Amino acid sequence: MLHIVNKSPFERNALESCLRFGRDGSAVLLIEDGVYAATRGNAVELKIREAMGRLKVYALQPDLEARGMQDAVIDGVNLVDYGGFVDLVAEHKAAQSWL
């Protein structure tokens, strides 16, 4: 399953819920303000690093660039463009948006 998180981890608990319920082998795509979770030095970095042991974590590169965060991405987070976003949706049988 592809889990899509678009809310900042500092505003809502969508990311925390996603990571708690995401099954091994699933993928998480961080978009919009959700990309803040993909950066080094924040309060959820450890949770993302731990999740990367069982989930594939992706971040939408244009959203990181729009926020000036492209140089602060956690090692191991995969960056995708809009075409990569479409590919992820097509690769997974189901997608869950966490609001």
3-state secondary structure 1-33: CEEEECCCCCCCCHHHHHHHHCCCCCEEEECHH
Which DSSP string do the residues of 41-66 spell out, in sequence order?
TSTTHHHHHHHTTTSEEEEEHHHHHH
| Mean pLDDT of the residues in the chain | 96
Model confidence at 31, in pLDDT bands (50, 70, 90)?
very high
pLDDT computed for residue 1 by the predictor = 95
Report d(CA 42, CA 86) in Å as an integer. 28
Q: Residues 59-72: pLDDT tens digits?
A: 999 999 999 999 99
Q: Is the pTM of this model over 0.85?
A: yes
pLDDT computed for residue 6 by the predictor = 97
Domain boundaries, position 18: 2-98
Count the domains in the chain.
1
State the pairing for strand pair 56-60/95-98: unpaired
pLDDT computed for residue 25 by the predictor = 86
Scan for tokens 């990571």, then name that residue.
19
Residue 94: give its domain's CATH number.
3.40.1260.10
> What length is written for the chain?
99
Q: Residues 75-88: pLDDT tens digits?
A: 999 999 999 999 99
